[in-house]
């Protein structure tokens, strides 16, 4: 099935020379689709790290299939498992890397996204450890009612490293902002200093 990208019209100009012109509407649809697909990935990682169930579920269609290696099921079952699993850790940080998306139809795309995930854990002996997992998300995306979301996802693990952790920075700098969960993160609160809020208000009123 031809991809919706690279759609072009071939026209003859007044001199009979055949030229290729871009199908602007098709290209724009693809750009918007790719942006929406990327945003679904951002919601997924934020949902995991902030332990935000609603955010995590918003990345999936309700009947999506998820295989993370430790479980298979729908988005709800995956959210229960993942947030329970990660919630026992002190903090996590999921970072997305390069992404390849192939537009198969106007409402279907296949993708592969690289990731690295950091986990701040405590072992059975009470020692801090840094667990890194790197791999790829192999996905199918569909657009329903204008919403691009994940329809199927399998997590492929490429490498894992588990090393002793050092939390000296956090211990020595307790006032430094650090990642929080359950709505306590600065990205949720955005409680800027009063002077900054006043400046932002003026800028909004006088763009």
pLDDT tens profile 71-96: 999 999 999 999 999 999 999 999 99
Which pLDDT score, from 0 to 100, does residue 153 have?
99
Tokens 């269609």, located at residue = 61
pLDDT digits 0-9 by tens, 128-156? 999 999 999 999 999 999 999 999 999 99
pLDDT for 5 beyond 60:
no
Q: Is 47 left (phi over 0), alpha (psi -120 to 50) or beta?
A: alpha
Better pLDDT: 7 or 64: 64
Q: Return d(Cα 149, Cα 52) in angstroms, integer.
A: 17
Better pLDDT: 117 or 26: 117
- 56-63 contact pairs (CB < 8 A, 24+): 56/82, 56/83, 58/149, 59/149, 59/150, 60/149, 60/150, 60/151, 60/153, 61/142, 61/144, 61/149, 61/150, 61/151, 63/151
Burial class (CB in 10 A: 0-12, 13-18, 19+), 145: exposed
Q: Return d(Cα 95, Cα 57) in angstroms, integer.
A: 18
Give the Å distances, CA to CA, from 57 to 10, 84, 182. Answer: 43, 14, 15
Q: Identify the bridge partners of residue 132 per DSSP, sorted by sequence position.
A: 118, 161
Q: Residue 16 in 3-state DSSP?
A: coil
Which pLDDT score, from 0 to 100, does residue 1 have?
39
Which pLDDT score, from 0 to 100, does residue 15 have?
52
Give the chain's mean pLDDT.
Answer: 91
Which pLDDT score, from 0 to 100, does residue 18 have?
46
**What is the arithmetic mean of pLDDT over 85-113?**
96
Which pLDDT score, from 0 to 100, does residue 4 have?
41
Residue 45 near residue 94 (C-beta atoms within 8 A): yes
Q: Is 158 left (phi over 0), alpha (psi -120 to 50) or beta?
A: alpha
Tokens of 124: 């059975």
Query: What is the torsional sign of CA 88, 89, 92, 94?
Result: negative
Annotation: CATH topology of 20-205? Nuclear Transport Factor 2; Chain: A, (3.10.450)
pLDDT digits 0-9 by tens, 147-200? 999 999 999 999 999 999 999 999 999 999 999 998 999 999 999 999 999 999
């Amino acid at each position: 099935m031809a991809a919706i990208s690279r759609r072009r019209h071939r026209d003859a100009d007044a001199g009979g020379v055949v030229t290729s012109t871009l199908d602007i509407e098709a290209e724009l649809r693809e750009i918007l689709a790719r942006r929406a697909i990327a945003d679904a990935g951002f919601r997924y990682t934020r949902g995991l790290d902030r332990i935000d169930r609603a955010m995590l579920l918003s990345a999936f269609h309700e009947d999506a299939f998820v295989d993370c290696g430790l479980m298979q099921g729908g988005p709800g079952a995956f959210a229960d498992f993942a947030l329970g699993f990660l919630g026992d850790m002190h903090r996590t940080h999921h970072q997305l890397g390069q992404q390849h998306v192939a537009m198969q139809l106007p409402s279907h795309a296949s993708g592969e996204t690289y990731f690295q995930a950091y986990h701040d854990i405590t072992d059975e002996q009470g020692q801090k450890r840094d667990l890194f997992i790197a791999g790829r998300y192999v996905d199918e995306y569909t657009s329903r009612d204008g919403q691009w979301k994940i329809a199927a996802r399998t997590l492929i693990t490429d490498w894992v490293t588990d090393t002793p952790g050092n939390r000296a920075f956090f211990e020595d700098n307790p006032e430094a902002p650090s990642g929080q969960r359950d709505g306590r993160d600065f990205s949720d609160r955005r409680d800027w200093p009063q002077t900054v809020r006043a400046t932002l208000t003026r800028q909004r009123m006088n763009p």
